[in-house]
Structure 1
């Protein structure tokens, strides 16, 4: 197996660090989104992904960044595949850290990412230093200094939002549907039920939702459940319990979707996020493998 993933979670900040490789001509990830900020650097090869309706090719030294909710996928178009390093920044941590960096800034910061793919050598250097400090378990002072350096450079690439701003991409119907799905995360909700809750019909609902969030309601709900599954697995909860709690049919059902989105099984993710030994990732071409 030539695909591999090494993942660790910093207990102080909740930041996850991911070092991964996917062999050439592999479909690395299905379209999905995270509830964290992503900042990563391509180490080797060509990392191809679609986000914000644009195809991006990240080559060595380029930095890619995504904000929570940004849908993206991943492919390895060249024979040698690609290798990358990624940090997953928790929104609460980032807000608090930026508030400390900008004490006279614009209130409670709600940052968004300006440009997905960046050719910024200083940002690349800061990203690599922060990644290595966390992933290699450097002493606390080194980790803190590296993260401060990353924040200082990252701030040049952020957009600033106010809490009261509505998402301009989401008409009222789509926002109502999203709120309903969040509130009924564990339930088997049908389109008719969802449409009635939004005072519309199922066809208008689907069109509005896809226009706002890039996925049909059922696909978005699966991604929401997967995002919550990452949180629960990182707390050490067994995959069987996570699958049951989040409305998946069984552990294998969770495992199939989890690997397609993240390239790793729920069990391996739980182990690595809790300080276990990194393991090779499972093949994404075998959706019926064990969870």
Structure 2
């Protein structure tokens, strides 16, 4: 357990080596997370209190027993709007693992589709218990056969709450200039990119570009670039790469710069995140 910021806040994190699934159980009072996104599917439930977050241009309130489902790339934050804060447990599912596991579970899975959650908040007591069982088995490192059995149950329950969408850009209706800017950021993620560089690359002035990008992706270009770098940093840290090396290769000024943004997004330092993912004691 790691104490952070507010002395009553805490986070527990583990990583399952077989599947790459990360499990997080955490408690926050007051502000929890700044807006950020993950490259994983998030499947979780609120244990205690009221969990407030913004996602899909709406404000959501999750109460005990409620399930929240987020897709890769969906921007969200987190706050505790009531005294006593909130506690939740969550699984981070790797998209490649999920697609393969669902294909094995179902006889027919669209070859050109990706799983999609129609609803961000779900009320399903049976599925909530399944999520809790899967979380406990992975988080506590139960026998491999038991972990596989509860994950099969999780996938069965999850299949009732997802649709399949075609393999097309998430923001296919976004302005072309915003899509070009996003692609440029992904191609030059490690570079110190200026708005003027982005404007020249997209053939648009920086002011119209910034407005279009914000509308399309929910973040201004500089914030999107930081979140992109953080999303790339997580798996590299989990594989054991030194935080200083990860910071340098992803365009952060230094390890401290990476650490500041990492803590704002995930409430853990890169080094502590790495220790948890490696299942090593603090």
Instruction: Please give the range of the TM-score, normalised by the shorter of the 2 chains.
Output: over 0.9
Q: 2:28 aligned to 19, 22, 27, which one?
A: 22
Please report the TM-score for the alignment, with normalisation by the length of structure 1: 0.92
Q: 1:163 aligned to 136, 161, 167, which one?
A: 167
Q: 1:220 aligned to 221, 224, 232, which one?
A: 224
SS for the counterpart of 1:157 is coil
SS for the counterpart of 1:154 is helix
Shifted more, 201-210 versus 34-43: the winner is 201-210
1:93 aligns with 2:100: no
Matches within 5 A, 1:1-291: 1-23=7-29, 26-164=30-168, 167-277=171-281
What's the CA shift for 1:176? 1.0
Deviations, residues 228-271 of structure 1 (Å, cap 9, x unaligned): 11111101112111111111111111111111101111111011
* Residue-pair matches, total: 276
In the alignment, the residues of structure 2 paired with residue 146 and residue 129 of structure 1 have an alpha-carbon distance, to the nearest angstrom, of 7
Contact 1:127-1:150 within 8 A present in 2 as well: yes
- Residues 169 and 143 of structure 1, relative CA distance in 2, 3 Å threshold: farther
In the alignment, the residues of structure 1 paired with residue 265 and residue 138 of structure 2 have an alpha-carbon distance, to the nearest angstrom, of 24
The structure, 1 or 2, with the larger RCO (C-alpha pairs under 8 Å, 6+ apart) is 1
Gaps of 5+ in 1: 279-291
What's the CA shift for 1:153? 1.0
Shifted more, 104-113 versus 123-132: the winner is 104-113
In the alignment, the residues of structure 1 paired with residue 125 and residue 35 of structure 2 have an alpha-carbon distance, to the nearest angstrom, of 28
In the alignment, the residues of structure 2 paired with residue 74 and residue 90 of structure 1 have an alpha-carbon distance, to the nearest angstrom, of 22
SS for the counterpart of 2:32 is strand
- Residues 108 and 100 of structure 1, relative CA distance in 2, 3 Å threshold: farther
What's the CA shift for 1:167? 3.0
In the alignment, the residues of structure 1 paired with residue 215 and residue 172 of structure 2 have an alpha-carbon distance, to the nearest angstrom, of 11
Shifted more, 76-85 versus 179-188: the winner is 76-85
SS for the counterpart of 2:268 is coil
